[in-house]
Structures are given as C-alpha cells and as structure tokens.
Structure 1
Amino acid sequence: MAERINPMVKAALEWGPIAAFFLGYVQLKDETFAFGGTDYQGFIVVTAAFIPLMVICTGLLWRLTGKLSRMQVATVVLVVVFGGLSVWLNDERFFKMKPTMIYLLFGALLGIGLLRGQSWLKLVLEEAVPLQPEGWMVLTRRVMLFFFVLAAANEAVWRLMSTDAWVNFKTFGLPLAIFAFFMTQGSLFRRYGLERGDKV
C-alpha cells in the first residue's frame, strides 16, 4: 500500500537531481578534470555525480511511498545506461540522447497499448486524473504524439545547438512544455472528467 509523504519532500526527491545537475553544470562547465590520465569536461563530471544522486533519490522515494511508477523506473534505468555510457566513453552525446530514448520509449509503449485497445496511461495517472474510458483513449493518443514531438525536439536541440542551450532546454524547456501541454487539455478534462469516487 502506498504511503503519503510531504509534497515538498516528494518534489525535492523528484526534481532535486535535475536542479543539482543544472547548478553543477553552471559551476563546472568550463572546467577540465584529470582522472586516471584522462581529461574530463565539467559536463561529464556533473553527469557522473548525477547518476548516483538520481538512483539514491528514486530509492528514497520508493522507500517513503512504497511504490514507483513504471515511468520512474524506466527513467532511472535509462539515466544509468546513457549516463554511464557518457562517463565510460567520455562522450556527452550519450547523455544528451537520454531524453530522446525516454520519450520514444514512453510514446511507443502508449502506442502499443492503443493498438490493443487499452490506455496504459490510465495505469499511471488514474489516481490523479479521473476520466471516463473514452477520455483516457483520447488523452493517451495526444500524450503519445506529444512524447514523439518531445523526442524530435530534444534531438534537434542537442544536435544543432550548444551544450548550454541543451542544458537549459532539458532543465526548463521540457518541464514547461509538459506543463503547457496538460494545461491545454482543460476541455478534455471537463468533457470526460469524473468526480472523485465515481466508478465507470
């Protein structure tokens, strides 16, 4: 059974690693560090610190709440994989590709569910967003397409723009885009929304 925790603690565990990555990058982006005879740029060093911080915060969140969503599990796994590749190969491109892989994975999974006539998004958001079955299908299609757009946007930014631009995009642009997307779904929520405690 999931336990309730202080919303501020939950927010700190979810967003703290991202904020720490941004602040660390700002401080160390122009620095070079030598480890084992190899030079590492500040971006790689910050990525190396971000990986265990993300794992620890996700573990604490699981310990305090008793559960993790599939998205949270997939995210931390991809952070470890792509962040680890960046550190191991001393190549920042792998970590920059991580959001692309996350959004492609989520979009593909939602698409598979839709092909099966199911809304797998409902499994993640049902407690927070009570909707009629038709509403879940509409929202799932929109979120699937939105994830594919985010994946394409991340690819465009990291390939065509500077690392500074990508860090700002990842830290501020992606969360703001997700917030804006759900804010634009007001008419869907009003049309298909359910009162708390209603059954379908």
Structure 2
Amino acid sequence: MAINPKTHPYVRALVDYGGLAAFLAAYFFKLRLVPGGALGWSLAIGGHVKPDLVAATWWLVGGSAISLLVGLVAERRIAPMPLIAGGFALVFGGLTLLFHDPRFIKIKPTATNLVFAAALFGGQMLGRNPLKWMLGEAIALPDEAWRTLTLRYALFFLSMAALNEIIWRTQPDAVWVVFRMPGLWVLAVLFSLTQTPLMMKHLHTHQPPPPPSES
C-alpha cells in the first residue's frame, strides 16, 4: 500500500519496493562488498561467483531499513502495510543471516501474507474493517462494498501464501527470486484490476484499488 498520497510517488515506490529491488539486483548481478577502496570496502559486480540468496539478503535488510527510514523522514510516519512488510523483512532477513539459512527469507512472504489475511478476517469477525482504515483516503465505497473487498483481499493473501510455499519448495532459487519480485507484484496488480467492476458498480471511483504491497 502507498503511504500518504501527497507524498512524492518516488518516495512511495522506495518505501514499498526499495528493499526488494536491492535484493533482486544483488542476487542476479551478484553485488557484494569486497576489501579495498578509499573507504576500506568497494562494490563488486558480477564475476564468477554463484548467485547467493544469503549474500543478497544483506542487501534486502539494508534496503528495507533505509526505505523505512526514508518513509519516516518524508512524512513522520509509515503506513501499516509497508511497516509490517518491512519489519518482517528485517526479522526474517536477520534470521537468514544469523543462521546462514535461506529458508527463512523464503518463508517471509508466506508469513507476511498470512498475517495480512488474518488481520482482514479478524477485523471482519470483530465488526471492523481494517482495509477501509488503510485505503479509505484513496477510494470511497459504501460499507457493504468494503466488506466484499476485504474478504476478497483476505483470500488473495491466503492464495499468495500458499503459492509462495509451492514455488520455493519445488523450484530453483532463481525462479523463486523472480516470483518474489516482480512476480508477486504483478499478481497483486492484476488482482487489484479485477476489482475495478466492484468500484464502478458503486460509482464512487473508476480507479482500481491500489495493489497490496508486500516488501
């Protein structure tokens, strides 16, 4: 989800996807810091080393921390979903680095999506609407439409958690990384576009809801 709509779109993109972009680049371009240079370390790109999920996780953790800091400085707060996703990136990324085990970073999307789904289902059961709270400034809908949209997003998050488990357990690391980004983002955008008829039906907006962000 985007942060305050008045914030510059580049800042919103950095908060939502900065850590993932760094992770993707580090994995496929084999970015790493090596001894040498004026600062004692220099950036190395490519070479004969194999892509390494654990090494790329350093960039995910660093990129996520910087992205959250930029979002906080930009408007002195961070929207709930980027905050949760960024926090999960730091926790699961830290576990990956601590135990040198890439399985932690692979299950991070599963955990994040399950938390989002549980929050939406739980809110519905308690008679509240967390999705309206998060998106109410972006789109205007009657309560009935919000309830329908909340249920659909909760099911979407559950589906993404299940799909992530299938991909990382059955496919090579490179396939999972592409699924992670941009695959999950593309699926989120496509899902959001399928909700356009619901928006148009209630005539408050002709824009699809923003895609759910999962860093």
Q: Structure 1: which 5+ runs fail to align?
A: 34-39, 196-200
1:198 paired residue number = none
CA contact (8 A) 2:16 2:82 kept: no
Structure 2 unaligned blocks of 5 or more: 35-49, 206-215
More deviation in 167-176 or 42-51? Answer: 42-51
For 2:10 and 2:133, the matched residues in 1 are separated by 24
Paired AA for residue 154 in structure 1:
N
| RMSD across aligned positions (CA) | 2.2
Per-residue CA shift, 1:129-148, capped at 9, x if unaligned? 21111110000000000000
2:58 aligned with 1:56, yes or no?
no
Q: Give 3-state SS (helix, strand or coil) of 1:182's partner.
A: helix
Q: Is the 8 A contact 2:117 2:157 kept in 1?
A: yes
Cα shift readout 1:9-57 (whole Å, capped 9, x = no counterpart): 322343232222111100229x9x9xxxxxx972211102220221111
What one-letter code is carried by the residue in structure 2 that aligns with 1:17?
A: G
In the other structure, the counterpart of 1:124 is: 134
Once residues 57 and 203 of structure 2 are traced to their aligned partners in structure 1, the CA distance between those partners, rounded to angstroms, is: 41
Instruction: Say which SS state the counterpart of residue 130 (structure 1) adopts.
Output: coil
Dislocated runs of 4+, deviation >6 Å: none
Distance (Å, rounded) in 2 between the aligned partners of 1:193 and 1:85: 46
Deviations 1:45-96, CA, capped at 9 Å, x for gaps: 1102220221111111121022212212211211111111111100000000
Aligned to 1:7: 9
The counterpart of 1:191, out of the listed 192, 201, 209, is 201
Report the alpha carbon displacement of residue 193 of structure 1 after superposing the two structures with TM.
4.2
Query: Counterpart in 1 of 2:122?
Result: 112
Q: How do 1:103-182 and structure 2 match up within 5 A?
A: 103-182=113-192
Distance 1:3 1:99, change over 3 A: closer
* Structure with more contact order per residue of length (Cα contacts < 8 Å, sep ≥ 6): 2
1:74-89 to 2 correspondences below 5 Å: 74-89=84-99
Alignment of 1:12-27 (within 5 A): 12-27=14-29
Q: 1:70 to 1:12 in 2, by over 3 A?
A: closer
Report how far residue 173 of structure 1 moved: 1.1
In structure 2, relative to structure 1, the CA distance for the partners of 1:4 and 1:138 (3 Å cut) is: same
Percent identity of paired positions between Structure 1 and Structure 2? 31
**Structure that is richer in helix per residue:** 1
Does 1:94 find its partner at 2:96? no
Instruction: State TM-score, norm by structure 1.
Output: 0.86
Q: TM-score, normalised by structure 2?
A: 0.80
Partner letter of residue 152 of structure 2? R
Whether the 8 Å CA contact 1:79–1:98 is kept in 2: the answer is yes
User: 1-side partners of 2:81 and 2:167: how far apart?
Assistant: 23
Residue in structure 1 matched with residue 208 of structure 2 by the alignment: none
Structure 2 Cα separation of the partners of residues 84 and 157 of structure 1: 22
Supply the distance in 1 between the matched residues of 2:51 and 2:193 (Cα, whole angstroms): 38
1:77 alignment partner AA: G
Q: Name the CA distance, whole Å, in 2 between partners of 1:12 and 1:49.
A: 14
Count residues with an aligned counterpart. 187
Residue 187 to residue 76, structure 1, CA distance change in 2 (3 Å): same
